[in-house]
Amino acid sequence: MQNAEIARLLSDVADLLEISAGNPFKVRAYRNAARTVADHPDPIAELVSGGGFDVTDLPGIGDGIAKEITALVATGSLPQRQLLAAKIPPGLLDLLRIPGLGPKRVKLFHERLKVNSVADLKDALEKGKIAKLAGFGPKLLEKIREGVSGAGAGTQQRMVLHEAEQYARAIVEYLKAGGGIDAIDVAGSFRRRRETIGDLDIVVSCANAPAVIQRFGKFGDVAQVASQGDTRSTVRLTSGLQVDLRVVEPAAFGAAMQYFTGSQAHNIELRKIAQAKKLKLNEYGLYRGSKAIAGRTELDVYSALGLDWIPPELREGRNEIALAKEHALPTLVTLEEIRGDLQMHTDASDGKATLGEMVEAARALGYAYIAITDHSPRMSMAGQSPAELRGQWKEIDRLNTRLRGIRVLKSVEMDILESGKLDLPDDVLAEADYVVATIHYGLKQSERQLTDRLLRAIENRWVDAIGHPTGRIVPVRPSYPLDFDVVAKAAANAKCLLEINGSERMDLPDTLAAAAKAHGVRFVLSTDAHNQRELGFMRFAVAVARRAGLTAADILNTQPTADFLNGLRRSRNH
């Protein structure tokens, strides 16, 4: 059982407690436990089942929840979740899976409108009952309708890339441990690094296909073996994620990886090229008549079609095939080229680690510089006053005199207020090494208001970057309304950077990052890490950048420290 699944079940308990008017402290305890488990770098299930591990050693987890987690690992079910689920109509759990609905809204529908299932909710929507409740405007109603429609059609919920990666890695390692595998990789939208994943496609080359198929069906998280044949199998995990396994001959491994990685549009274009050359392309290879002329590697397949090899992140059927034909594909940025992380938080605001712990973790990753961007005052319970920020910056100055090989930048994540004003005065911002401005409040303002707020921040000479520019959190919160072309043009003209945030925000989205590049924008890649483990989220920021076609030259934090600092527009103001 992966950490993501344990965390999801703990979150379910918190939701069920909230629906049933449970103790708010208990609700918070389960939510905190879910976050702790999700953030833990090691598999909790393995630690517990291995013995000698005390779950109460995890921060914020007491005896009661520790016993629940231990029981979950041993039995596959969470006792408290079963107990609570038995006390409410079973259909309420289905409602929690609908986008736009959380426990508070589900409880409201249940108590006020006697809604106990997706069917009840659909009926209440059709009769206009939901629209009469306070706080349910047209956009939210439409979002709920879409969710109800998807639930009624049995649409599988997509999983964020961050979670899907846990399952993909675990399954690959499990299959490798069984031996006899020549090659194995994960294809599909996962390999294209899309922000959400509908299912996982795993391709294997081996001598004994039946043995690998049998082992696959016995993976610990498998809830159902949907189908099982000689060379392919489909299972559904306890999390609901579908995983498809396909076993091919070594001579076809590259063709299979190409076939199962590319989007439908990408693969259709490739087949057209093959047909024009009187060839046939499928998951087993590229054929002239009955003779396979390519298939062992992807490079062989693309070369035989007259194309350069196309990085998986670009295989969406946009313009990548035309570029590959002209040998004009961009040299995409790599994780190894990133020299610093430009957004992270410590326990001085809402982070979970100390300044020293974050610095050491960043140093271990080989970074040349990092920005400590604890929050400005507007963030309730997490923001720092100007005096507190200046105190932290003095501590950073002292730290930098002792550090070797890494520079800690005096920074802040500053709110752009609802009025459009900035949360800190210019004299404070001028003392920083780097300032990222973000919107956290007033997300329901009009497109014009939100656009104007960003434009005012871009105009300020001490704002170096706009952080998570669209405000989205995948998949729970969409982007706020925004005239992005206007924002991108303004950022390019002002030499203000736009951030690609590697947390579950995945913001900017790849399509907007590509559009911003066309306007001449430069970017920074950041993790928004709130603990040491989340510094690893840089790989997700890089994935977005690669999907957007960005090169190292498009991203300022691929530069050495001095060049990075000189590249900030504030360098012209000193």
Contact 338, 371 (CB under 8 A): no
Rounded mean pLDDT, 99-114? 84
Residue 230 domain-assigned (yes or no): yes
**Domain check: are 399 and 417 in the same one?**
yes
Q: What pLDDT shows up at residue 113?
A: 87
The predicted pLDDT at position 154 comes to: 45
Alpha carbons 361 and 531: distance in angstroms, whole number: 9
Question: What number is the average pLDDT over the span 344-354?
Answer: 91
**Is there a single domain that holds both residue 343 and residue 402?**
yes
In a domain, 417, yes or no: yes
CATH number of the domain enclosing 219: 3.30.460.10
Mean pLDDT of 312-330: 96
Query: Does residue 218 belong to any structural domain of this protein?
Result: yes
Sequence-ordered list of residues with C-beta below 8 angstroms from that of 289, at least 6 positions apart, any chain: none
Q: Which of 176-185, 281-290, 413-422, 474-483 has the lowest mean pLDDT?
A: 474-483
Spatial separation of the C-alpha atoms in residues 525 and 518, rounded to whole Å: 18
Three-class SS of residue 376?
Answer: coil
Same domain, 147 and 82: yes
* Residue 152, pLDDT score: 52
pLDDT at 157: 67
Question: What's the domain count of the chain?
Answer: 4
Counting residues of the chain whose pLDDT is more than 90, the rounded percentage is 64
The domain containing residue 100 runs over which residues?
Answer: 3-152
Assess if residue 330 is contained within a domain: no
> pLDDT, tens digit, for every residue of 238-296?
888 999 999 999 999 999 999 999 999 999 999 999 999 999 999 999 999 999 999 99
What is the average per-residue pLDDT within 546-551?
A: 97
Residue 75 confidence (pLDDT): 84
Q: For residue range 487-500, what is the model confidence (pLDDT) as tens digits? A: 999 999 999 999 99
Beta-bridge mates of residue 422: 416
Average pLDDT, the chain: 91
Residues 352 and 204 in one domain: no
Q: Across residues 441-463, what is the average pLDDT? A: 94
- C-alpha distances in Å from residue 507, one per residue of 198, 462, 471: 20, 22, 7
Amino acid code (one letter) for 70: T
Instruction: Kindly state the helix (H) or strand (E) to which residue 169 belongs, with its residue range.
Output: helix 161-177
Beta partners for 242? 199, 236
Q: What is the CATH number of the domain that holds 417?
A: 3.20.20.140
Identify whether residues 400 and 265 lie together within a single domain: no
Percent of all residues in the chain with a pLDDT value above 70, rounded to a whole number: 98
| pLDDT (tens digit per residue) in 41-94 | 778 888 888 877 888 888 878 899 999 999 888 888 888 888 888 887 877 877
pLDDT for position 155:
44
Instruction: Look up residue 517 and give its two tokens.
Output: 């590049």
Q: Are residues 389 and 484 in the same domain?
A: yes
Whether 497 is covered by a domain: the verdict is: yes
CATH code (residue 56): 1.10.150.110
> Mean pLDDT over residues 419-441, rounded?
95
- Are 494 and 426 found together in one domain? yes
The pLDDT value recorded for residue 151 is 59
User: Is a pLDDT exceeding 50 seen at residue 362?
Assistant: yes
pLDDT one-digit tens code per residue, 9-38:
898 888 888 888 778 888 888 888 888 888
Residues with Cβ < 8 Å from 345, sequence gap 6 or more?
Answer: 351, 372, 373, 374, 375, 413, 528, 529, 530
- How confident is the model at residue 104, as a pLDDT? 85
Same domain, 382 and 524: yes
The values of phi and psi at residue 51, to 5°, are: 80, 155
Task: Identify which has the larger pLDDT, 338 or 70.
Answer: 338
Residue 300 and residue 345 in one domain: no
The gap between the terminal CA atoms of the chain, to the nearest Å, is 54
In the prediction, which pLDDT does 130 show?
87
Does residue 398 sit in the same domain as residue 537?
A: yes
Answer yes or no: are the C-beta atoms of 475 and 158 closer than 8 Å: yes
Per mean pLDDT, which range of 47-56, 182-191, 208-217 is the poorest? 47-56
Q: Are 389 and 345 in contact (CB under 8 A)?
A: no
Q: Above 70 in pLDDT, residue 311?
A: yes
Give the 3-state secondary structure of 22-38: CCHHHHHHHHHHHHHHH
Q: Among 102-111, 224-233, 323-332, 460-469, whose mean pLDDT is lowest?
A: 102-111
Cα 233 to Cα 413: distance, rounded to the nearest angstrom = 47
| Residue 462 pLDDT | 96
pLDDT per residue over 363-377, tens digit each?
999 999 999 999 998
CA dihedral over 274, 277, 279, 284, signed as positive or negative: negative
What pLDDT does 574 receive?
A: 60
Rounded Cα distance between 214 and 230, Å, is 10
**Cα(205)–Cα(296) distance, integer angstroms:** 10
Higher pLDDT, 380 or 112: 112
Residue 110 falls within a domain, yes or no? yes
Spatial CA neighbour of 503 closest among 322, 381, 345: 345
Task: Mark which of 229, 248, 267 sits at the end of a domain.
Answer: 248
∠ CA(108), CA(109), CA(114), 5° rounding?
120
Asked if the structure places residue 169 within a domain, the reply is yes
Q: Are residues 244 and 261 in the same domain?
A: no
Which CATH number characterizes residue 301's domain?
Answer: 3.30.210.10
- Amino acid 156: pLDDT: 53
pLDDT in tens, 520-545: 999 999 999 999 999 999 999 999 99
Q: What is the mean pLDDT of residues 310-317?
A: 97
Judge whether 366 and 406 are in contact, CB under 8 Å. Answer: no
Final residue in a domain of this structure, among 305, 325, 345: 325
Burial 392-410 (b: 16+ CB within 10 A, else e): bbebbeebeeeeeebbbbb
Does residue 435 form part of some domain? Answer: yes
Q: Which of 248, 271, 302 is the last residue of a domain?
A: 248
Beta bridge mates, 228? 233
Residues 259 and 239 in one domain: no
**Predicted local confidence at residue 150, as pLDDT:** 63
Mind listing the pLDDT tens digit for each residue in 156-185? 568 899 989 989 999 999 999 999 999 999
